[in-house]
Amino acid sequence: MADVFVSYARSDKARVAPLVAALEMHGWTVWWDPEIDAGEQFDDQIEAELKAAKAVLVVWTPASAASRWVRGEAREAADLGTLVPVRFDGARLPMDVRAIHTTELDDWAEDVGSAPFKSLLRALGAMIARRAAGSASVASPASSPHGGSQAATGRIGICVLPFVNMSGDPEQEYFSDGISEDIITDLSKVSALSVVSRNSAFMYKGKQVEVPRVARELNVSHVLEGSVRKAGGRVRITAQLVDGSSNDNLWAERYDRDLNDIFALQDEISEAIVEALKLKLLPEEKRAIEQRGTTNLDAYNLYLMARQHYATGNEGDVRRNEAIIRLCRRATEIDPDYAQAWALMAVGQMLVRLVNGGTGDGGLAAAERALAINGQLAAAHAVKARILSESGHHDQAIAEIGVALDLDADSYEVNRAAGYLYFRQQRLPDAIRHFERAQSLVDTDLSSANMLMTCYTATGDVEAAHRAAQLTLSRAQKALAQDPSNGAVMGFCCYALALLGQAESAKGWMSRALLIDPDNTNMRYNFGCALTTQLQDPDGAIEMLRPLFRNISLGLLNHAKADPDLDSIRDDPRLKQMMAEAEARLAAMPLEAEAGTTSR
């Protein structure tokens, strides 16, 4: 595996060769394969080297910018989070990578002491160090998103690829995804297995993959793949367990059952995999796998729908949060003892308190109902911690999040909650650690990536802030492709563009978004933060925030008080007056209306 993969147009070979030599002199290994024309079809070696590299250096010139192969490699690297671009001759960059910071090399003159080359070294060094640290963490099952290899952990490494929806109806995607996620969860309860996280496994969703390559990339020995067909009252699941090195099937089965048998079917699949790997389930592991939270198919189906909405990761989308509440409320009406549905409903209620400023307890009753049913449910402790923090019970909130982390330190919900609690206490290194973990667990999580931009900017880590901005843009673009009018996502986009120095693009997004969704609370707040922190426009920030503060919730007000993005205008008399008026308005509200939370 090379440190640096170089993507370039073959006609630029003479220009690229000195750059490669300079990088090798610096001590890095470089894969640039000058014998393969960049216009040829990608072969297995090129793709494997690109994915394995710690950094992908794309050399933009007028020739490479016109090459669909170089553009394809750049997009792949951007998706992997390894793209480090440079430019010659003012080449016009492809639209989908323009927001990523690009080093101008026209003046480097093949001088390793030049400012442009030193800038490139810093960018590559930061990327290589980050990737090396990520690879090293694979050896630790507590910190690795992949779970670690068998050799490193003494456990068998396995990846559950997302099962393919064969129902012929895209609306059934939530069901096949839900089955995949539940099998990941079940196998994670087996102490002899090290299971790749949902986020890493779902990178391959919708792609044609080769099992040996997946096993190599994720450092596992076995891969489970399959499909789900749901029609009427029947479900057909096919599954096969494959040896990652030999590509041989160790086990394969097709199940054609009544849909009401789905719970027993999931148990059968998990237990068959354990048996195929010649492992033995401990009694407590068998009980944990068989504990589904509900035995009612209708309630389970509704919960899977709600979980699919939640997996979009955009906490600021009021429509998403209201859908979660409705689906979970119906699930709990069908099965009042469904703890997971109560906990997820609490999350939706907590978030809606911020978005619409309504009344209610912000999900506290639902969280407590979940814990009364199952006191070991980490997600319920996590949401309760956030609610307690918003109501000023900080010691209780910290105690709750401590319990949640003890129960499940790899939970997305738990890490999100911990990140916010530590952010409010201005313990930014701790907040960063948990936000980083959260965004690594759910590949659609925009909110954590957005919070990382703020945290890294406040701590002065410019390179990390840029990485967070690039990740935010990549995820936001995918979200906007599904819903072009989503104001909250536009807010994230604008902040990221401003951080990356794309001021005009950021202002353009602002103008368009305010026409489309002028009353979006999260969007307007992020616009205000971008104006004050990144665009140095305090007057513009004040005017952007003024309408928001007239109806701001207690949760978002508390967030604003702790947010370092507003530090540069914190002593502005106008902001002080807006905050004072908001506090007076909220103090006059009934207590039950003050349980709001925040989401950025």
pLDDT tens string 311-348: 765 666 778 889 999 999 999 999 999 999 999 999 99
Is the separation of the CB atoms in 562 and 423 below 8 Å? yes
Q: What is the pLDDT of residues 13-30, one digit of tens each?
A: 888 988 988 888 777 888
Kind plus residue range of the DSSP H or E element containing 126: helix 115-137
CA distance 26 to 28: 6
**Per CATH, the architecture of 4-137 is what?**
3-Layer(aba) Sandwich (3.40)
pLDDT at position 497 is 94
**Per CATH, the architecture of 443-600 is what?**
Alpha Horseshoe (1.25)
pLDDT at position 358 is 58
- Helices of type H across 391-502: 394-407, 412-424, 428-441, 446-459, 462-482, 487-499
Q: What is the pLDDT of residues 444-499, one digit of tens each?
A: 788 899 999 999 999 999 999 999 999 999 888 888 887 888 888 889 999 999 99
Helix, strand, coil shares of the chain as percentages rounded to 5?
A: 60, 10, 30
Name the CATH topology of 150-292. Answer: Rossmann fold (3.40.50)
Structure tokens at 405: 């982390």
CA distance 535 to 520: 21
Q: Is the pLDDT of residue 98 over 80?
A: no
The three-state secondary structure class of 312 is coil
Q: Is 317 or 563 the better-scoring residue by pLDDT?
A: 563
Lowest pLDDT segment from 128-142, 319-333, 350-364 = 128-142
Q: Work out the pLDDT band at 140, boundaries 50, 70, 90.
A: very low
**Token match 């936000």: residue?**
435
Alpha carbons within 13 A on the beta-carbon side of 519:
6
Q: Is the pLDDT of residue 160 over 60?
A: yes
pTM of the model: 0.65
Break the chain into its structural domains and give their ranges: 4-137, 150-292, 443-600
CA distance 316 to 449: 13
Is the separation of the CB atoms in 100 and 60 below 8 Å? no
Q: Is 346 or 558 the better-scoring residue by pLDDT?
A: 346
- Same topology, domains 4-137 and 150-292? Answer is yes
